[in-house]
Chains A and B, each alone.
Chain A
Amino acid sequence: MTAALVRALGDFDLAEELVQEALLEAVEHWPKEGIPNKAGAWLLTTARRKAVDQFRRQARFREKLALLEGASMRNDTAEGDDRLRLIFTCCHPALSREAQVALTLRAVAGLTTIEIARAFITSEATIAQRIVRAKRKIVDAKIPYRVPAEQDMGERLEEVLAVLYLMFNEGYLSTAGERASRRDLAEDAVWLAGLMVRLMPEEPEALGLLALMRLHLARADSRFDDEGNLILLQDQDRTRWDRDRIASAIVVLHRAAALRRSGPYQIQAAIAACHAEAGSWEETDWRQIVMLYDALLELMPSPVVRLNRAIARRYLDGADATLPEVDALGGALGEYYLFHATRAELLRDLGREPEARAALARALELTANPAERALLQRRLG
């Protein structure tokens, strides 16, 4: 196994160190938890995780990680099938979403319960219990350990991707202050999405999700200023965007498009790509973005998608034309801070300042996220 890691990392000392660490962990865990069925695969997963930890803050981290991923999945179809079975079992719809997330992080990504607990700012006991309960349900209710049949695949894959996207957002949406203490769940989710893509290369929505995650992460560094304040897309320093990651995401998105089965993740990735490729805020192709939202609405006719479409339309048709469209969503989104924040922007555009301030105040009441609150407060002045 050290050989596989050396090939992947091109650095013998580091590879050996990682294997050592993985073995140490094995010595700690196996007496308690028993030797996993695939000890070699387990060690490689653990070594990978160690590598991720080491590389996380290094400049060449992504490049190396990509190589490592390639090595751990070296066309071993039997192991690939085994991993898929594991993923689909961990993300079985008969398990709660919380349990799906915890199980997937534990069993597929190889995190320890302590690491998962830290990521979700909860106790180790809570996570351990969640995992034990889920495992018990798998056994007692006889949730099958297999890749779903053809006719169920669409639905089940959707479930897996939803689990990964939730995991990603949990990491990505955490604020700068929290991020220091939290494990980077977003990176774990990207790794898992990459794994899904390698295991199911013909599934365009898995590709779409991977592209979407990469596009979000490419902009992650420019989302907060040094004080931890949220910076909106229009004010972000685009020279800080990770161009390599954007390019790699767009390659993935093209692969998805070539399969000619559109879906919500692909469309959302395409929208993100429109932003990523625009040289400046002013150059954004709003017409294209509104069209993509129309396509998304066909598949996901939700009020939140409508709101996002309206936000884009504002830059195309102006606040005057857009406000009634937003107002119409008041019934469904009255408790959603972004609805009120959007209304405030539109009202301000139209010079209706008192109403704008009232909407901002309402938005402020509805979000607990410190970075979002600070942003709204700045706008209130």
Chain B
Amino acid sequence: MKYVLLFGETKERAKQWESMPEAQKQAAYAPINQWFERYGSKITGGHELQPERTATTIKFNNGKPVVTDGPFIEGKESIGGYAEVTVADLDEAIEMAKGWPTGGLVEVRPVVDRGEPQR
């Protein structure tokens, strides 16, 4: 079963992260890298995303695409990255999410299974 883990942060923490000195940032990456190593065999994709300020949203007004600046998720949180994982069931995905080292939030979403062969 495939799930996507969406890694969320409060906007405030995301800003702090961005303004962090490079050396400190490198140190902060260590536990994240460990997490990816630990679950390497189960992670089938994913990326860290650039900050929300780089986001562009395309909406459709009566079918006509309109390009606007900014993310479409409104609120206090933003998505900082995602990982696609292939595991037995929700409990295993939750187990991985619980081990996520940066704090913040992790949303676990099963992907739609159209019955194609498991990769």
Contacts and interface: CB of A to CB of B under 8 A. Distances in A.
A140 interface: yes
Contact of B90 (A143, A148, A152): A143
A140 B110 contact: yes
A144 B110 contact: no
Given A140-B110, A142-B1, A142-B110, A94 B89 contact: no
Given A140-B110, A141-B110, A142-B1, A94 B94 contact: yes
Most buried by B among A140, A141, A152: A141
B30 interface: no
B94 A144 contact: no
A141 B112 CA distance: 10
Interface string A251-283: 000000000000000000000000000000000
Most buried by A among B1, B88, B89, B108: B89
Interface residues of A, number: 8
Interface string A137-162: 00011111000100010000000000
B69 to A, nearest CB: 34
Nearest to A148: B91
Nearest to A93: B94
Nearest to B2: A142
A233 B1 CA distance: 54
B71 to A, nearest CB: 25
A359 B94 CA distance: 46
Contacts of B88: 144
Contacts of B91: 143-144, 148, 152
Contacts of B108: 141
A94 B94 CA distance: 9
Contacts of A143: 89-91
A183 B9 CA distance: 44
Interface string B75-119: 000000000000011110010000000000000101000000000
B94 A142 contact: no
B64 to A, nearest CB: 34
Nearest to A145: B89
Nearest to B109: A141
A148 B95 CA distance: 12
B4 to A, nearest CB: 12
Nearest to A140: B110
Nearest to B91: A144
A144 B88 CA distance: 9
Interface string A116-142: 000000000000000000000000111
A128 to B, nearest CB: 24
A148 B89 CA distance: 12
Contacts of B89: 142-144
A143 B90 CA distance: 5
A141 B4 CA distance: 11
Contacts of A140: 110
Most buried by A among B88, B89, B91: B91
B84 to A, nearest CB: 15
Contacts of A94: 90, 94
A165 B94 CA distance: 25
A369 B24 CA distance: 54
Most buried by B among A141, A142, A152: A142
Nearest to B92: A144
A293 B99 CA distance: 33
Interface string A327-340: 00000000000000
A157 to B, nearest CB: 15
Contacts of B94: 94
A148 B1 CA distance: 18
Interface in B1-43: 1
Contacts of A141: 90, 108, 110
Nearest to A152: B91
B87 to A, nearest CB: 9
Nearest to A138: B90
Given A143-B89, A148-B91, 8 more contacts: A94-B94, A141-B90, A141-B110, A142-B1, A144-B88, A144-B89, A144-B90, A144-B91
Interface of B: 1, 88-91, 94, 108, 110
Interface of A: 94, 140-144, 148, 152
- Which 5 residue pairs spanning A and B have beta carbons closest together? A144-B89, A142-B89, A142-B1, A141-B110, A143-B90
19 contacts: A94-B90, A94-B94, A140-B110, A141-B90, A141-B108, A141-B110, A142-B1, A142-B89, A142-B90, A142-B110, A143-B89, A143-B90, A143-B91, A144-B88, A144-B89, A144-B90, A144-B91, A148-B91, A152-B91
